[in-house]
Amino acid sequence: MVWDSQLPLSIWARFLAYGAFGCCFEIIFTGMKHWIASRLRDWSLLGKSYIWMFPIYGVAAFLFEPVHNFLRQELWLARGLIYVIGLYVVEFAAGWLLRISIGKCPWDYSQKKYHFKGLIRWDYAPIWFGFCFGLEQLHDFLLRVRISMIE
């Protein structure tokens, strides 16, 4: 007997999607930042990320999704502010854990303005604000994706 069933993506598949999305975003962001810092002269668009970032972004499957579901009906401004606060908590905690476990945090903002303990940058709040709305769109898309299983 052959039948087709449509299965939703597992939380681990969504973890992988968030990890890939976040790292791609970070590479594009740092590439554009490099280009702007060169006064639009260096077209190499050198972007980078850290392997550590993949699981840090991936954790959105476990932390961001429930918050998004809870806040869906709230005003976009309130959602964005709550997301940014949560993102800063995760970024700080991840950076702190990396510092105590491997001896350093791959991102070090201590030489920049507007940082907290070198682990988060307050001036990135507008970027994170927009990023979180990208996460909302990704979350809704991932909920619609189905895997066909033919037995």
Task: Supply the pLDDT for residue 4.
Answer: 55
CA–CA separation, 15 and 5 (whole Å): 22
The pLDDT tens digits for 69-81 are 999 999 999 999 9
Do 114 and 106 meet the contact criterion of CB atoms below 8 Å apart?
no
Q: How many CB atoms lie within 10 A of CB 99?
A: 16
Do 88 and 62 meet the contact criterion of CB atoms below 8 Å apart?
no
CA–CA separation, 28 and 25 (whole Å): 5
> Per DSSP, which regions of 3-144 are E strands?
4-8, 115-116, 120-121
DSSP H helices in the chain: 11-37, 53-58, 60-71, 76-102, 125-144
Which residues have a Cβ under 8 Å from the Cβ of 76 and sit 6 or more positions away?
133
Phi, psi of 149 (to 5 degrees): -120, 115
- Average pLDDT across each block of 10 residues of the chain; the chain has 151 residues. List them in order: 72 97 96 94 93 97 97 97 97 97 93 94 96 97 87 62
Task: Supply the pLDDT for residue 1.
Answer: 46
CA–CA separation, 146 and 10 (whole Å): 10
Do 117 and 94 meet the contact criterion of CB atoms below 8 Å apart?
no
Q: How many CB atoms lie within 10 A of CB 34?
A: 15
